[in-house]
Amino acid sequence: MANEPTAYESEILAASLRAYLSETGFAFTSVTAAEATPAITRAVAGWAKASGWKCWEEASMRYIDPPRPVGMGCRITWWPPRSAYLDLRLLREDGPPIAVEIDREDIGTAVDKLRDEALRGRPALWIRWHGAVRADLPAGVARLRLPTRATRSPIRYSLAAVGDTAVITRGEPVSPEDQENARVRDRERIAEEKRIAALRPSYPPLIRC
């Protein structure tokens, strides 16, 4: 089926990235978390450049579901946000863009962002380094886990040369039904935003008394 390669392509791309990191001898020793993530980001950007793709950092994306008010009384926020940012978006001439998130922990919005990108038919890569990982992955998303180790006080992270120890896992393929449902919800979100934009400039990020 036409959309099945989304999951498999994500896995193939993850394997290609792992091979690139192995061939280039990517590793780091005794770095902080603030240093490790940029190092991985630069390595992924190098893979993109070697593949002939353009790399866009902090690329804007939109969630499929429209924002809904969360909370009550004096404190109301909107979830999901009207927009979000991918760590990297890799632009290709011969295929849809690749969504990339790079994280040290499972806590955060990476899974939600990659899930929605996969539902749009775009390969989605989640690069997880250090810490335990969740067992489940959304359909269409592939995860490359870089097995770092850490020291205590002060915390420093090290990554040995990447090889087969960098495990790749993936979710199931995106089903045609889920993809079509996502298209409908995406259209509904856009229509809702246009309707509200006609009433007021934008969603308030926060309401306080």
10-residue mean pLDDT series, the chain (209 residues): 62 96 95 95 97 95 78 66 87 95 88 93 94 84 94 91 88 91 86 76 55
User: CB-based contacts of 55: which residues, under 8 Å, 6+ apart?
Assistant: 44, 45, 48, 49, 88, 89, 90, 91
* 3-state SS assignment for residue 178: helix
- Of 163, 31, 46, the closest CA to residue 104 belongs to 31
Residue-level pLDDT at 1: 39
Contact 46, 24 (CB under 8 A): yes
Q: pTM score > 0.85 for this model?
A: no
Contact 66, 188 (CB under 8 A): yes
